[in-house]
């Protein structure tokens, strides 16, 4: 998927002991502002690392309902490490694949807080079923969130 440091092993939380099934929802807002997409994933885990959830949604057994995504990593010589980006969602690509932060790129908001995908991947940030996860194509330094439809 182009995400994760390689030194971190993804460890899913314990399963819900009550065997309750949770629905995790990820929304992708169209850059054209005319529509958006919503994807649901059912699990008995109480929380899931967001990179793992994106993988589940992107590579499930039902291609017609799959989230279309491409994930990339770019080597940062200054930091001597790879940085992780979402290169494409639902057919909409970032503006500058060579230097993603210099154009519009896919940015995720968790509960209306802007989050950095590279940081999410490095720290294996987990989400709960009650979290609101929404993706926008916007400038890296843009602060304001676009309005959901």
What pLDDT is attached to residue 38? 95
Could you tell me the pLDDT band of residue 61, with boundaries at 50, 70 and 90?
low
Instruction: Please name the residue ranges forming H helices in 16-127.
Output: 50-58, 117-123
Alpha carbon 124 to its chain centroid, in Å, reads 11
Residue-wise pLDDT for 101-148, tens only, equals 999 999 999 999 999 999 999 999 999 999 999 999 999 988 655 555
Which residues lie below 8 Å from residue 36, measured CB to CB, with a gap of 6+? 27, 28, 29, 30, 148, 149
Which structure tokens are listed for 68?
A: 């279309």
Structural domains of the chain in order of their starting residue, each with its CATH number:
22-139 (2.170.130.30)
- Residue of 72, 9, 19 lying closest to 43 (CA atoms): 19
Q: Cβ of 64: how many Cβ atoms within 10 Å?
A: 4
Q: What pairing do the DSSP bridges indicate for beta strands 22-29 and 133-139?
A: parallel
User: What does pTM read for this prediction?
Assistant: 0.83
């Amino acid at each position: 998927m182009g995400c994760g440091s390689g030194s971190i092993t993804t460890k899913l939380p314990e399963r819900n002991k009550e065997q309750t099934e949770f629905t995790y929802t990820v929304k992708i807002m169209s850059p054209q502002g005319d529509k958006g997409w919503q994807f649901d994933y059912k699990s008995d885990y109480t929380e899931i690392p967001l990179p793992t959830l994106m993988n589940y949604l992107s590579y499930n057994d039902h291609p017609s309902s799959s989230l279309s995504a491409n994930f990339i990593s770019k080597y940062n010589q200054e930091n001597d490490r790879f940085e992780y980006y979402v290169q494409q969602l639902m057919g909409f690509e970032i503006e500058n694949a060579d230097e993603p932060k210099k154009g519009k790129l896919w940015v995720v908001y968790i509960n209306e807080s802007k989050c950095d995908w590279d940081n999410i991947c490095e720290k294996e940030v987990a989400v709960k079923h009650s979290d609101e996860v929404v993706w926008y194509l916007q400038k890296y330094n843009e602060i304001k969130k676009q309005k959901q439809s």
